[in-house]
Amino acid sequence: MIYREDMLELTRRMTPARSSAQRIAGAYFDAEGFIDGTFNTHFLNLTAADRKKNLELARTLLLSRTNDQLTDHPIPFRERRAGDVWQLLDGIMESGLKNDALAEVFYEVAGERFCPGYPFGLFFIFGQYDIPVKGSDKEWMEGSEEVYTYLICAVSPLEGEYEPGRPKFGFVYPAFKNRTSDPECILVYQEQPGAFREMKDWLLNGGNDKDDQKS
**3-state class of 144 per DSSP?**
strand
Rounded CA separation 141/130 (Å): 12
The number of domains in the chain is 1
Name the residue range of residue 95's domain: 4-205
* Predicted local distance difference test score (pLDDT) of residue 198: 86
Compute the distance between CA of residue 114 and CA of residue 120 in angstroms, rounded to an integer.
Answer: 10
Residue 197 CB partners (closer than 8 Å, separation 6+): none
Inside any domain, residue 29: yes
Quote the CA–CA distance of 187 and 164 in Å, as a whole number. Answer: 21
Bridge partners (DSSP) listed for residue 126 = 23, 151
Q: Quick one: pLDDT at residue 39?
A: 96
The predicted structure's pLDDT at residue 191: 96
Find the range with the poorest average confidence among 56-65, 66-75, 96-105, 154-163: 154-163
Determine whether 22 is exposed, middle or buried from the number of CB atoms within 10 Å of its CB (0-12, 13-18, 19+): middle
- The 10s digit of each residue's pLDDT in 22-31 is 999 999 999 9
Is 56 contained in some domain? yes
The yes-or-no verdict on residue 57 having pLDDT over 70 is: yes
Averaged pLDDT score across all residues of the chain? 90
Angstrom distance (rounded) from CA 47 to CA 57: 16
Q: What is the average pLDDT across 85-93?
A: 96
pTM for the whole structure: 0.91
Q: Is the pLDDT assigned to residue 209 strictly greater than 80?
A: no
Mean pLDDT of 189-206: 90
Residue with the larger pLDDT of the pair 128 and 207: 128
Tell me: the pLDDT tens digits for 127-167?
999 998 875 555 555 556 799 999 999 999 999 888 999 99
Within-domain flag for 215: no
Q: Which of 116, 113, 108, 124 is nearest to 36 (CA)?
A: 108
- At residue 18 the predicted structure's pLDDT band, cuts being 50, 70 and 90, is confident
Pick the range with the lowest mean pLDDT from 33-42, 78-87, 164-173, 206-215: 206-215
33 vs 142: which has the higher pLDDT: 33
Show Cβ contacts of residue 124 under 8 Å, excluding neighbours closer than 6 positions.
24, 25, 26, 92, 97, 103, 151, 152, 153
- The answer to whether residue 213 sits within a structural domain is no
Lowest mean pLDDT across 98-102, 122-126, 195-199: 195-199
pLDDT of residue 114: 83
Least confidently predicted of 104-113, 149-158, 171-180: 104-113
* Concatenated DSSP letters of 141-166: EEEEEEEEEEEEEEEEEEETTTEE-S
pLDDT band of 215, cuts 50, 70, 90:
very low
In a domain, 9, yes or no: yes
Helix, strand, coil distribution of the chain in percent, nearest 5: 30, 40, 30
